[in-house]
């Protein structure tokens, strides 16, 4: 076996430039794929993190039909005390659930005593909300971040702060209709200004859940939305399936399902972007495979053609067809290995450099996010294995042809 | 026991409707340690015959025994194995492997065809290089030596496995007169030393003058059978 490798290596060295060019092409492909996988992967997880951690949570539970009519923030589609209890029971049995936050979402009139506008509000238990959306305090661009907010305080969206010329510390009035149609008003102190982000609920203000209850005259428990955070986003599918299993099947007296459960993927439009990134990664991998296949096959077909006479010679003196096949396959293999090894080293070094130099980028309205590309061992191993396998596969056909050559015809070839 | 026995040997090439009868029924016997040549005009069937003896091409009809074995029905794989074990080849164009040194070229059959242990291999290769007078050129590549030297190396490669039979199709056609004579003398010396049978096909009168047995072919038929210095058969 060693001698086959020696001979194959010598033959590759015979056409140094050609071997280098082909290997470099493979190197280039490997670098492109590894860097793309690494950068897009970290961009994706950063993006997903931004979306889930500053607003959505990983999973949300509503009363059936709530999301379809979310634009009007219907109060008559809130979960009842009984239903909330069921959800809490279900969540208690999920070890992968890190935190959850009960929210009442409502629309109200916002008045600064001279002007009035509409505002959408998210009423929360601050401690739970912070645990469920840990990046939320980062969105407070003015005012105290610590503790999020207290009863009597409001975080107002950036746009309203600008449009209504309201500053931190100002007093405002919220007026809201409860679900029976009666109107109630309450004064609030502006605690902070909340940066708007793209995505559902990204431009809502925030008040304490107790204030929402008194404003809407809710007695007991009523919840529009339960946002859930997992300790590992990779467990999303399994937790979702389990919750779906526990809650999704529950029916009310009319035989209608009670709950609807959604992952962030079905709520946020950014999921499409994440999917697009995956699709692009897939196509880039296909391109790499094509590059390797075509370049190795091309070189090996040439190699066989150039060496017909030699193939005739070694075949005549008794080299078995299997060994001749091996000789050429090993050549392709070595070229694949050379290209991949180089490509992997270059990629890993580049990724390390990118981490050291701290490349920042903007996403939506967030600026200065740090890109810290990483790549998993599994990804590297998969790509290396694919490239080398394709290199072998690509040399198989020419090698097969060489091994099947008739020695007399081959020897006559000039 | 005779080394090669051919009976009513026929080789027909057919390409489409066209049939070429390259060998039309020949009988001959070659004894061990002979120095034999097949001569005849171009197209008379010399190469065809040598290819059949060398198990590179199966006969269409007839009997052919080489080293006591019937080789008429060998599969490709078995034929390759048989060649690797029993037959050495010397080619008109030397056909050394350019990426291997002289030493490695001679080593090739011991390593890639037969599997000799390293120590024995090294010893044997050096022995053969010494025998053909190339003992101090082992490190050179084929491109760095002359045609005559290449053919010596080729002879060493053919003999290194202790093959009992060496086939050489026009081995001197690409050599000048002096070198050709030297190569032929070398082969004769090898025959004497290792008791190997050499079978040539040639136009070259220098070989013809040197061989002991000559078969003349014409149009695929054996015309004449001639012994120079009283061989062991008749
Ligand atoms: N593969 C083949 N297909 C068809 N015909 C062939 C083939 N090989 C040889 N022949 C024919 O067989 C006959 C004998 O050819 P061969 O090569 O044995 O002659 P030769 O005596 O070696 O000639 P030369 O001295 O020119 O080498 C020729 O008529 C040749 O055209
Ligand atoms: Mg010929």
pLDDT one-digit tens code per residue, A105-148: 999 999 998 999 999 999 999 999 999 999 898 889 888 888 88
Give the per-residue pLDDT at A99: 94
Element (H, E) at B48: helix B46-53
Q: What is the mean pLDDT of residues B190-197?
A: 93
Residue B225 pairs in a beta bridge with B215
d(CA A304, CA A9): 15
- Residue B46 vs residues B37, B67, B219: alpha-carbon distances, Å: 9, 20, 10
Burial class (CB within 10 angstroms; exposed 0-12, middle 13-18, buried 19+) of A15: middle
Cβ–Cβ below 8 Å for B99 and A407:
no
Contact A317/B97, CB-based, under 8 Å?
no
Asked whether the beta carbons of residue A316 and residue B88 sit closer than 8 angstroms, the reply is no
Q: Which atom of ligand 1 is nearest to the CA of B51?
A: 18
B18 lines ligand 1 (CB under 6 A): no
**Predicted pLDDT at B33:** 93
A14 touches chain B (CB under 8 A): yes
Q: Which two tokens stand for residue A97?
A: 């659930």
Measured between beta carbons, which residues in chain B are less than 8 angstroms from residue A13? Answer: 99
> Ligand 1: does its nearest atom lie under 6 Å from the Cβ of B159?
no
What is the structure's pLDDT at A363?
64
| pLDDT in the model for residue A364 | 60
Confidence check: pLDDT of B232 > 70: no
* pLDDT single digits (tens) A73-114: 888 889 999 999 999 999 999 999 999 999 999 999 999 989
Q: CB-based contacts of A181: which residues, under 8 Å, 6+ apart?
A: none
Q: What pLDDT is attached to residue A366?
A: 63
CA distance A243 to A252: 17
Strands of A139-219, DSSP E: 140-143, 153-157, 171-177, 183-194, 205-208
Provide the percentage of residues in chain B whose pLDDT is more than 70: 97
pLDDT in tens, A229-267: 999 888 999 999 999 998 988 888 888 889 999 999 888
Per-residue pLDDT at B227 exceeds 80: no
Token pair, residue A186, equals: 């309450």
Provide mean pLDDT across the span B188-209.
88
Q: Which ligand is nearest to the CA of B40?
A: 1
Which of A316, A319, A323 has its CB closest to that of B56? A316
The tens digit of pLDDT for each residue in B89-104 reads 999 999 999 999 999 9
- Least CA distance to A327: which residue of chain B? B112
Provide mean pLDDT across the span B43-58.
95
CB atoms under 10 Å from CB of A214, counted, come to 12
Collect all residues of chain B within an 8 Å Cβ-Cβ radius of residue A11: 99
Q: Which of B17, B48, B218, B222 to mutate to test the pocket of ligand 1 (most atoms within 8 A of CB)?
A: B48
- Tokens, residue A15: 């056409």
Contact B147 CB / ligand 1 (< 6 Å): no
pLDDT, position B204: 78
Question: Residue A71 carries which DSSP code?
Answer: G
pLDDT one-digit tens code per residue, A18-54: 999 999 999 999 999 999 999 888 888 888 888 888 8
Residue A317 is encoded by which pair of tokens? 């003196």
What are phi and psi for residue A143, nearest 5 degrees? 100, 175
Q: How many residues would you count in chain B?
A: 234
Helix (H) or strand (E) holding B191: helix B177-194
Under the banding of pLDDT at 50, 70 and 90, the label for residue B208 is confident
Q: Between A206 and A265, where is the model more confident?
A: A206
Calculate how far, in angstroms, residue B47's C-alpha sits from the geometric centre of ligand 1.
7
Tell me which residue in A316, A323, A408 faces B112 most closely, judged by beta carbons.
A323
Residue in chain B lying closest to A321 (CA): B77
Paired residues of B13 in beta bridges: B20
Q: Does B57 touch chain A (CB under 8 A)?
A: yes
Give dist(CA B152, CA B174) in Å, integer: 13
Determine the pLDDT at residue B234: 35
Between CA A195 and CA B209 the distance in angstroms is: 105
Q: Which of residues 308-337 of A touch B (CB under 8 A)?
A: 309-310, 312-321, 323
Task: Supply the pLDDT for residue B40.
Answer: 92
- B111 in Cβ contact with B133 (< 8 Å): no
Q: Pick from A16, A64, A363, A6: which is nearest to A197 by CA?
A: A363
Q: Which two tokens stand for residue A52?
A: 């889930």
Torsion of CA A2, A4, A10, A11, to 10 degrees: -160
Residue in B80, B93, B98 closest to A321 by CB = B80
The predicted structure's pLDDT at residue A365: 57
- Domain definitions of chain A by residue range: 2-50+272-412, 65-257
Q: Which of A335, A274, A281 is nearest to A34 (CA)?
A: A281
Angle between helices A270-306 and A16-51 (to 10 degrees): 170
Number of A/B CB contacts below 8 angstroms equals: 67
pLDDT of residue A146: 87
Mean pLDDT, range A170-178, rounded to an integer: 92
Q: How confident is the model at residue A220 (pLDDT cuts 50, 70, 90)?
A: confident
pTM assigned to the model: 0.81
Structure confidence at residue B177 as a pLDDT band (50, 70, 90)? confident
Crossing angle, helix A321-357 and helix A2-14, to 10 degrees? Answer: 70
Task: For ligand 1, say whether the CB of B43 is within 6 Å of any of its atoms.
Answer: yes
Atom of ligand 1 nearest to the CA of B38: 21
Determine the distance separating the centroid of ligand 2 and the alpha carbon of B156, expressed in angstroms.
23
| In the predicted structure, residue A207 carries a pLDDT above the cut 80 | yes
Most A-contacting residue of B53, B77, B89, B99 (CB-CB within 10 A), to test interface: B99
Ligand in closest contact with the CA of B23:
1
- Considering only CB atoms, A317 lies closest to which of B77, B84, B93, namely B84
Which of the four pLDDT bands, split at 50, 70 and 90, describes residue B233?
very low
H and E: helices and strands count for chain A: 13, 14
Give the number of other Cβ atoms within 10 Å of residue B76's Cβ.
15
Q: Tell me: the pLDDT tens digits for A354-389?
A: 888 877 777 665 667 777 788 889 989 999 999 999
- Give this complex's ipTM: 0.93
Domains of chain B are: 33-61+72-227 (3.40.50.300)
* Coil/strand/helix, residue A275: helix
Chain B CB contacts of A323 under 8 Å are: 112
pLDDT at B230 over 50: no
Q: Do the Cβ atoms of A51 and A58 come closer than 8 Å?
A: no
């Amino acid at each position: 076996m060693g001698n086959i490798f020696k001979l194959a290596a010598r033959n590759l060295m015979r056409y140094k430039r050609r071997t280098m060019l082909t290997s470099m092409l493979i190197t280039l492909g490997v670098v492109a794929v590894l860097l793309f996988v690494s950068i897009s992967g970290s961009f994706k997880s950063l993006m997903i993190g931004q979306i889930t951690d500053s607003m959505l949570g990983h999973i949300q539970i509503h009363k059936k039909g709530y999301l379809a009519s979310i634009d009007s923030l219907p109060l008559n589609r809130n979960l009842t005390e009984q239903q909330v209890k069921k959800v809490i029971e279900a969540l208690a049995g999920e070890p992968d659930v890190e935190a959850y936050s009960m929210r009442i979402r409502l629309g109200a009139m916002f008045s600064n005593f001279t002007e009035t506008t509409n505002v959408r509000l998210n009423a929360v238990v601050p401690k739970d909300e912070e645990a469920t959306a840990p990046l939320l305090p980062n969105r407070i661009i003015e005012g105290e971040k610590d503790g999020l907010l207290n009863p009597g305080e409001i975080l107002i969206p950036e746009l309203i702060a600008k449009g209504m010329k309201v500053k931190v510390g100002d007093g405002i009035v919220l007026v809201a209709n409860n679900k029976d149609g009666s109107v109630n008003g309450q004064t609030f102190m502006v605690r902070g200004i909340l940066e708007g982000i793209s995505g559902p609920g990204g431009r809502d203000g925030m008040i304490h859940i107790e204030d929402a209850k008194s404003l809407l005259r809710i007695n007991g428990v009523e919840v529009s939305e339960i946002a859930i955070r997992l300790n590992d986003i990779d467990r999303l599918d399994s937790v979702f399936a389990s919750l779906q299993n526990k809650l999704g099947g529950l029916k009310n007296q009319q035989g209608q399902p009670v709950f609807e459960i959604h992952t962030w993927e079905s709520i946020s439009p950014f999921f499409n972007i994440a999917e697009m990134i995956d699709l692009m990664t897939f196509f880039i991998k296909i391109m790499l495979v094509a590059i390797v296949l075509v370049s190795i096959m091309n070189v090996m077909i040439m190699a066989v053609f150039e060496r017909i006479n030699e193939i005739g010679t070694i075949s005549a003196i008794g080299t078995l067809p299997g060994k001749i096949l091996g000789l050429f396959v090993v050549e392709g293999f070595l070229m694949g290995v050379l290209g991949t090894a180089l490509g992997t080293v270059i990629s890993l070094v580049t990724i390390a450099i990118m981490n050291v130099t701290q490349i920042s980028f903007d996403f939506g309205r967030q600026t200065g996010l740090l890109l810290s590309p990483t790549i998993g061992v599994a990804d590297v191993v998969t790509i290396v294995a694919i490239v080398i396998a394709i290199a072998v596969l690509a040399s198989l056909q020419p090698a097969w042809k060489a091994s099947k050559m008739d020695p007399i015809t081959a020897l006559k070839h000039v | 026991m005779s080394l090669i026995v051919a009976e009513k040997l026929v080789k027909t090439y057919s390409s489409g409707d066209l049939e070429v009868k390259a060998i039309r029924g020949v009988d001959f016997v070659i004894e061990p340690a002979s120095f034999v040549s097949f001569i005849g005009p171009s197209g008379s069937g010399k190469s065809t015959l040598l290819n059949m003896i060398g198990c590179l091409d199966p006969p269409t009809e007839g009997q052919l025994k080489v080293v006591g074995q019937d080789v008429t029905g060998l599969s490709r794989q078995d034929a390759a194995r048989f060649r690797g074990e029993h037959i050495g080849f010397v080619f008109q164009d030397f056909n050394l492997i350019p990426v291997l040194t002289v030493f490695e070229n001679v080593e090739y059959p011991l390593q890639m065809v037969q599997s000799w242990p390293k120590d024995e291999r090294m010893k044997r290769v050096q022995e053969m290089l010494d025998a053909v007078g190339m003992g101090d050129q082992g490190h050179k590549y084929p491109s760095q030596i002359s045609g005559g030297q290449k053919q010596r190396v080729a002879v060493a490669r053919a003999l290194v496995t202790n093959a009992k039979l060496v086939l050489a199709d026009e081995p001197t056609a690409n050599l000048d007169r002096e070198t050709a004579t030297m190569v032929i003398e070398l082969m004769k010396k090898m025959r004497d030393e290792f008791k190997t049978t050499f079978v040539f096909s040639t136009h070259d009168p220098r070989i013809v003058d040197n061989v002991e047995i000559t078969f003349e072919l014409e149009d695929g038929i054996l015309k004449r059978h001639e012994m120079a210095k009283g061989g062991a058969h008749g």
